[in-house]
Amino acid sequence: MLNQLTISQLTEKVARREVSAREVTQACLNRVAKVDETVHAFISYDAADALAQADAIDKEIAGGNNTHRPLLGIPIGIKDVLAVKNHPLNCGSKILGNFVSPYDATVIEKMKAAGAIIFGRLNMDEFAMGSSTENSAFGLTRNPWDTTRIPGGSSGGSAAAVAAEEVIATLGTDTGGSIRQPAALCGCVGLKPTYGRVSRYGLVAFASSLDQIGPFTKDIRDTAILLNVISGHDRRDSTSVNQPVPDYTKALDGNIKGLRLGLPKEYMIDGLDPEVKAAVEAAVKQLESLGATVEEISLPHTEYAAATYYIIAPAEASANLARFDGIRYGARVDGANPIELYSKTRGAGFGSEVKRRIILGTYVLSSGYYDAYYLRAQKVRTLIRQDFLKAFEKVDAIVTPTTPTAAFKIGEKSGDPLQMYLSDIFTISCNLAGICGVSLPCGFTKSPKLPIGLQLLGKPFGEETMLKIAHAYEQSTPWHRERAPLAK
Amino acid sequence: MAGTDFDVKYVAHLARLALTPEEENALGAQLGNIIGFVEQLKSVDVSQVEPTAHAVPTVNVMRPDEVQPSLPHDEALRNAPKKSGGLFVVPLIVE
């Protein structure tokens, strides 16, 4: 079954004309038709459009053109927050109505140029606000390992689609863990690049100083391939950094002898599930046996990360989401005057979590509270970033669990926003510090059998070393070869 | 304690966000909790610390002032909830 293969396996087959892009795409479409009624990873998809893209690729290959492209004939699913020309874009929300993107995001342009087939709109928490994909206006997504459980969020559809083998890889976005957390809970690889590594042009902004786009894949090599394609400076995103993009696949040589890994003592919290703790400890032993040295480090301001994040992210969101006012696009609810039109449109269009964060963000930015909350949080952010920069003077990468527990039940935390927020406790600091992070499988809970994620955090623009370590670990363990029950 | 004097109605007005009375009640309690949680930042000594707005130090990025292709007019209007004569239609602002 072609949909079970990886990018690196398939591009070779397609380039050698052993299989066509159409066959790969059709295999994915068949898979989606079979399982997506249960998983609901996709909000929508257009089979005819996907096959037309595949046929165009096959035509080029038949002509002997561009056969060495890194994503040749690979269907890649897209989180519903990235603009794809002539595809719908809803951000998991009602407020965008029947919006159709008039242009491609930079990452989409790059993937098209690399030979990818841009496929479908993946479900997500509305405007990427959530940790379970229960906040979507288009219904919830189920975890392919246990369909009574959440896939994580906010990029839950992106993670579930890879775990259920509906597409070969997907893109998601990560503002406080929205790639790494669902990757951990669905048992796939998910990487958040260093802030500025990937252009955000064509990404609907949630928290502009924290958002990054990144890949979900079945293994580390595929993540390196996809990161090669989407990285780089873009004049249309002034926060993208003009720094050369190395070939990340070159770092995957298995040699991690002498690399120094840090274990932050602050991550061994009370709420850490014993099975997760044991799996991460075993992973650390494995990394040591591969030749890495491990030492305990301290990131003293870790306990303040969640509070800092839940001031800064809603503050930025409340400003970014002001543009959804019913004037230029999306659904509109009429009012007697412009203010009433804005209020009614936004009241009808946004879901409860988005409203909660807009109110919270507006409050912490409002006159009389700005210094006490927002400015103070920005200062604590400095301390959190300094913790990491100091730690990276001693170590090459940091090892932690990705999440405190495996996937929780649907509905388990949806009634308590604060509890939901704390499920991101290990992933949030990475965004505040602007560094890179990746989650990869490191074991399973016993009963039920649910994936556990290992998080590696790297220096700013330290993706090569981080991927080298992740790859060495992955290739020496069996976890990435395990398949979700639904995938069998 | 900021959590207890949280005026949902006033903040919702600032945010141009119409809420039902049920939403106002629910949000008031939940936001009180969340504000209570973030209050812990008050215990951090930040007197000697500069704020971080962006993890990567950013400066104004300039480009030459040259005309470049932009979104065609009809594409820009493509998703408008109401349009007429190549323009967005909005409620009356001035008599």
Cα–Cα distance, A8 to B85 (Å, whole number): 51
Are A402 and A180 contacting, i.e. CB atoms less than 8 angstroms apart? yes
Tokens of A227: 């990161």
C-alpha span between B43 and A428 (Å, rounded): 20
Q: How many helices (H) and strands (E) does chain A have?
A: 15, 11
| Chain B nearest CA to A448, separation (Å) | 32
> What is the domain partition of chain A in residue ranges?
2-262+392-487
The residue from A132, A136, A178, A423 that is catalytic is A178
Output the six-digit token pair for B25: 């009640």
Task: Mark yes or no for CB contact A359/B61 under 8 Å.
Answer: no
Which residues contact residue B76 at a Cβ distance below 8 angstroms, ignoring those fewer than 6 apart? A102
At residue A469, φ and ψ (nearest 5 deg) are: -65, -45
Query: What is the pLDDT, as a whole number, of residue A423?
Result: 84
Share of chain A above pLDDT 90, in %: 95
Q: Assess whether the previous peptide bond of A338 is cis (omega < 30° from 0).
A: no
At residue A239, the pLDDT reads 94
Structure tokens given for A295: 């030492």
Inter-chain residue contact A209 with B33, CB threshold 8 Å: no
Per DSSP, the three-state class of A252 is: coil
Q: Is the pLDDT of residue B1 over 50?
A: no
Minimum CA–CA partner of A332 in chain B: B81
What six digits make up the tokens of B13? 């007005």
> Between the CA of residue A281 and those of A277, A294, A423, what are the distances in Å?
6, 11, 20
Interface test with B, best of A340, A344, A379 (most B CBs within 10 A): A379
Q: What is the pLDDT of residues A429-459, one digit of tens each?
A: 999 999 999 999 999 999 999 999 999 999 9
Helix-strand-coil split of chain A, %, nearest 5 = 45, 15, 40
Within a domain: residue B67? no
Q: Are A2 and A21 in contact (CB under 8 A)?
A: no
A443 backbone φψ class: left, alpha, beta (φ>0; ψ -120 to 50): left
Instruction: State the DSSP H helix or E strand holding residue A430, giving kind and residue range, or none if neither.
Output: helix A428-433
* pTM reported for the whole predicted model: 0.97
Residue B37 belongs to domain with CATH number: 1.10.20
* Residue B80 buriedness (CB in 10 A; 0-12 / 13-18 / 19+): middle
Instruction: Give the E-state strand segments of A21-156 in sequence order.
Output: 42-44, 75-79, 117-122
pLDDT on residue A487: 60
| φ, ψ for residue A400, nearest 5 deg | -150, 170
Per-residue model confidence (pLDDT) at position A417: 85
Instruction: Give the span between the Cα atoms of A385 and A410, in whole angstroms.
Output: 34
Per-residue pLDDT band at A409 (split at 50, 70, 90): very high
The answer to whether residue B4 scores a pLDDT higher than 60 is no
- Distance from the B84 Cα atom to the nearest Cα atom in chain A, whole angstroms: 12
Residue A107 scores a pLDDT above 60: yes
- State chain B's maximal CA–CA distance in angstroms: 58
Residue A206, chain B, CB below 8 Å: the answer is no
Q: With contact defined as beta carbons under 8 Å apart, do A440 and A179 qualify?
A: no
What pLDDT is recorded for position B59?
79
Using CB atoms, which residue from B51, B76, B79 is nearest to A375?
Answer: B51
Q: Is the pLDDT of residue A165 over 90?
A: yes
Question: What are the tens digits of pLDDT across the range A24-83?
Answer: 999 999 999 999 999 999 999 999 999 999 999 999 999 988 889 999 999 999 999 999
Q: Name every chain B residue with its beta carbon within 8 A of the beta carbon of A348.
A: 18
Q: Taking each helix axis from N to C terminus, what angle separates A106-113 and A220-230, rounded to the nearest 10 degrees?
A: 110
The reply to whether B35 falls in a domain is: yes
CB atoms within 10 A of CB A272: 17
Query: What is the spatial order of strands in the sheet that A212-217 belongs to?
Result: A42-44, A117-122, A75-79, A169-174, A212-217, A189-192, A436-444, A451-458, A397-401, A260-264, A293-297
Tell me: pLDDT of B15 over 80. Answer: yes
CA pair distance A128, A114, nearest whole angstrom: 27
Checking if the pLDDT of B3 tops 60, the result is no
Mean pLDDT of the residues in chain A: 96
**Partner B contacted by A305 (CB < 8 A):** no
* A201 neighbors A234 (Cβ within 8 angstroms): yes
Q: Cβ distance A177 to A424 under 8 Å?
A: yes
Single out the residue of A99, A149, A93 nearest to residue A317, CA to CA.
A93
The kind and range of the H/E element at A389 are: helix A376-391
Give chain B's domain count.
Answer: 1
Please tell me the distance from the alpha carbon of residue A123 to that of residue A44, in angstroms, as a whole number.
9
Contact A191, A474 (CB under 8 A): no
CB contact under 8 A, A99 and B12: no
Task: Tell me how close the Cα of A13 comes to any Cα of chain B, in angstroms.
Answer: 38
- pLDDT at position B2: 43
Question: Which pLDDT score is estimated for B5?
Answer: 59
Distance CA A181, CA A167 (A): 19
Task: Say yes or no to pLDDT of A293 above 50.
Answer: yes
B58 inside domain: no
Average pLDDT over residues A274-288: 98
pLDDT at A195: 97
Q: Give the pLDDT band of residue A381 (cuts 50, 70, 90).
A: very high
Respond yes or no: is residue A439 known to be catalytic.
Answer: no
DSSP assignments along A307-323, one per residue = HHHHHHHHHHHHHHGGG
Q: Is residue B60 assigned to a domain?
A: no
Q: Is the pLDDT of residue A164 over 60?
A: yes
Beta bridge partners of A143: A146
Tell whether B7 is covered by a domain: yes
pLDDT digit string, tens, across residues A295-307: 999 999 999 999 9
Closest to A472 measured CA to CA, from A361, A390, A397, A375: A397
Amino acid found at A55: D
What backbone phi and psi angles, to 5 degrees, belong to A236?
A: -85, -5
Nearest-angstrom CA–CA distance, A459 and A259: 13
Within 13 A of B92's CA, how many CA atoms are on the CB side? 3
- Range(s) of the domain holding residue B9: 1-42
Find chain B residues with C-beta within 8 A of A336's C-beta: 91
CATH topology of domain A2-262+392-487: Amidase signature (AS) enzymes (3.90.1300)
Closest CA to A472 of A212, A252, A289: A252
* Identity at A465, one-letter amino acid code: T
A-interface mutation test, from B24, B34, B66, most A Cβ less than 10 A away = B34
